[in-house]
Chain A
């Protein structure tokens, strides 16, 4: 029996030449990879921009104990290649019934709630994201755009897919204000501590 724990690291940066080359997201991806290798994990990797096979991605999700999405925030979500990845991979996991056995509701038991049909219990999912938005724009009801919302509130579009399949969501990690005043070096240095605290 192989008891080595596994982590799936998904990097969904989309390259815009001379505007967003992906160096920062790659740095976070490498930081996580080094961290998990040092902890004795087997590291599975997917770079969405380089292509993937949806059925294979389903299998990687089934193998992994932890799944981490590394993403830049483009227009308040992951780049479009990520939603394409989700639609394809989760549709595969739905049709094969490997990710879930339905939406949780049954004809027999009307008390079963929507969103409880997942089969991925025991796994954990985390988002690590890079934002132009400054930290001060979140968790503050006086901010006009987010009106008090947290990063987790904005990222519910992504985390809800995993929760729907039974995966536990752990606290997201965010590097803010990356084009102006953000402390990128500090964000990278602190990242392993966040992983240790929330996943190990």
Chain B
């Protein structure tokens, strides 16, 4: 989400374009959504149904995705819930009490990944001494995003994170290493 003069979106666009070029080079068809430019929730459901892999590129604003992303999630996942295309309930049934909450998804076989840019430095995570995260990982901090996909049956793979972006001296390196990360995490030949 654009904040003129503060966050213009160039870094997220760079990661996005690296991913796009990578998947095109691997003969994937690339479906795209730029949330800020608008979308139709029902069409987004269909795009999720078509995709084998879903990747969210996001800056971290106040410890999570910008608000336009939560609006997108509420609208798209509500559509996928009401149409029963994403899931058939929350997994529990009156008939079988052993069925767990969160097992009603229909999106098995698909994979989801977050690629995020942080002001937070890498050493603030996985560090019990850090007063903010208290030992949590970056994946833990963004679990609310992963949970939506887990709830609908996706496999969620570990996120790709570019830290400390306002001071970072290795943005270039992170961009260069991103295709190798994608190749490895999705087992692409």
Minimum Cβ distance to chain A for residue B169 (Å): 15
CA distance A156 to B141 in the complex (A): 7
Cβ contacts A3-29/B at 8 Å (1 or 0 each) = 000000000001000000000000000
Contact B101 A164 (CB under 8 A): no
Contacts between the two chains (Cβ within 8 Å), count:
120
Q: Is the CB of B131 within 8 A of A113?
A: yes
Cβ of A114 and Cβ of B144 under 8 Å apart?
A: no
Interface centre among A84, A146, A157 (most CB of B within 10 A): A157
- Report the Cα distance A84→B65, complex, angstroms: 11
CB distance from B66 to the nearest CB of A (A): 6
* Nearest Cβ on chain B to A22's Cβ, whole angstroms: 15
| Stretch of A39-47, A137-145, A183-191 with 4 or more beta carbons under 8 angstroms from chain B | A137-145
Contact between A137 and B101, CB atoms less than 8 A apart? yes
Interface residues on A, range: 35 or more
Q: Is A80 touching B132 in the complex (CB atoms < 8 A)?
A: no
B78 → A minimal CB distance (Å): 8
Chain B residues with CB under 8 A of A86: 62, 67
Q: Is A133 an interface residue (CB 8 A)?
A: yes
| B residues 36-79 in Cβ contact with A at 8 Å | 61-67, 69-71, 73-74, 77-78
A89 vs chain B, min Cβ distance (A): 9
A31 within 8 A of B: no
CB contact list, A117-147 vs B, under 8 A: 132-134, 136-137, 143-146
Which of A113, A146, A153, A163: most chain B Cβ within 10 A?
A: A113
Stretch at the interface among A50-58, A59-67, A70-78, A192-200: A70-78
B103's closest neighbor in chain A, by CB? A144
A90 interfacial contact with B, CB 8 Å: yes
Contacting residues, chain A, for B63 (C-beta < 8 A): 156-157, 160-161, 164
Check if A103 is an interface residue, CB within 8 A of chain B. Answer: yes
* A77-B70 CB under 8 A given contacts A87-B61, A153-B140, A154-B147: yes
Q: Are A79 and B147 in contact (CB under 8 A)?
A: no
Q: Please give the distance in Å from B149's CB to the nearest CB on chain A.
A: 10
B151 within 8 A of A: yes
Is B102 in the interface zone, CB < 8 Å from A?
yes
* Chain A CB within 8 A of B150 CB: yes
Q: Can you offer 27 A-B residue contacts whose CB atoms are under 8 A?
A: A75-B70, A75-B77, A75-B148, A76-B148, A77-B144, A80-B74, A83-B62, A83-B67, A83-B70, A84-B71, A87-B61, A87-B66, A114-B130, A132-B90, A133-B102, A144-B102, A145-B100, A145-B101, A145-B103, A145-B147, A153-B136, A154-B143, A154-B144, A156-B136, A156-B141, A157-B142, A163-B131
* Closest CB pairs A-B (n = 4): A115-B132, A145-B102, A83-B67, A80-B71
- Which residues of A are in contact with B by a Cβ distance under 8 Å? 14, 74-80, 82-84, 86-87, 90-91, 103, 105, 113-116, 132-134, 136-137, 143-146, 149, 153-154, 156-157, 160-161, 163-164, 180
Please name 9 further chain A to chain B contacts, defined as beta carbons within 8 Å, in addition to the given A74-B74, A133-B90, sorted by A numbering: A76-B147, A80-B74, A91-B62, A116-B132, A136-B101, A146-B147, A153-B143, A157-B142, A161-B63
